[in-house]
Amino acid sequence: MSGSLARKRVVVTDAAAFMGPDIMAAFTEAGMDAIADRRDLTATTAAEDLIKEAGRVDVLIANLTFSYPGGLAHEIDDDEMTRTFDCLVFPLHRLVRSVLPQTIERRQGKIIVVGSADALRGKPRRAAYGAARGAQHAYVRNVGVEVAPYNIQVNATGQTFVENPTYFSPEYQKTEEFRKRLEQVPAGRLATGREAAEFILFLAGPSSDFFVGQVFPFAGGWVV
């Protein structure tokens, strides 16, 4: 598969956070022209500027992050809900809106959203974060079927319990909270960042061309 991806251009957002470093490593090793973007995408024109600067984009990886502290639903004010959607939902739409015209014209493209299993299984104190991640997943399903006739595949992962510097850092893995959470995972361990990146690499390649608007749980059995 890696040979089929050689020299294709991939844009990875929030490349220093969440799954960014592992995705960049896997895609670079596959011979892709990988652009690691680290800008703040909450600005209205940031996504459009990124795609213009990148030029041709064969694969877009929407790796969007937000360090949500958690909170009871009745204590989440409008500002907090808006801030969560400003980081996770609106940048996704702006990225997709900016890249689709060129991929539709070529009748080929891949868009992969690195999402969260928090949108697939309810958890206390995660209402705002889960809602925003759920909005990402709904967006993927709808846009996926819309652009499938143009040979553009839009899919997402719904992941958790994956090593990464944002949500499962080495420091966090030493805490009692982490140990208790890990007891809920049938696989009994975290996935490595490389495992997750390899799956995303598969979604970027031609072997995934028949997947349309799918959200794939990647959580060691925490979501089935």
CATH number at residue 85: 3.40.50.720
Residues of 130-156 as b/e, b for ≥16 C-beta within 10 angstroms? bbbbbbbbebbbebbeebbeeebbbbb
**Total number of domains constituting the chain:** 1
Q: Report yes or no on 173 lying in a domain.
A: yes
Q: Report yes or no on 196 lying in a domain.
A: yes
Tell me the per-residue pLDDT of 81-131, one tens digit each, with 9 for 90 and over.
999 999 999 999 999 999 999 999 999 999 999 999 999 999 999 999 999
At 18 the pLDDT is 97
The range of the structural domain enclosing residue 147 comes to 2-218
**Which residues of the chain register pLDDT less than 50?**
none
Tally of CB atoms within 10 A around 116 = 28
At 70 the pLDDT is 87
Q: Report yes or no on 77 lying in a domain.
A: yes
Q: Report yes or no on 18 lying in a domain.
A: yes
Q: Report yes or no on 205 lying in a domain.
A: yes
Q: Report yes or no on 224 lying in a domain.
A: no
Q: Tell me the whole-structure pTM to 2 decimals.
A: 0.96
At 210 the pLDDT is 98
Q: Report yes or no on 46 lying in a domain.
A: yes
Tokens 């959203």 map to which residue?
113
Q: Report yes or no on 125 lying in a domain.
A: yes
At 1 the pLDDT is 54
Q: Would you say 218 and 196 are in contact if contact means Cβ atoms under 8 Å apart? A: yes
Q: Would you say 17 and 166 are in contact if contact means Cβ atoms under 8 Å apart? A: yes
At 3 the pLDDT is 61
At 21 the pLDDT is 98
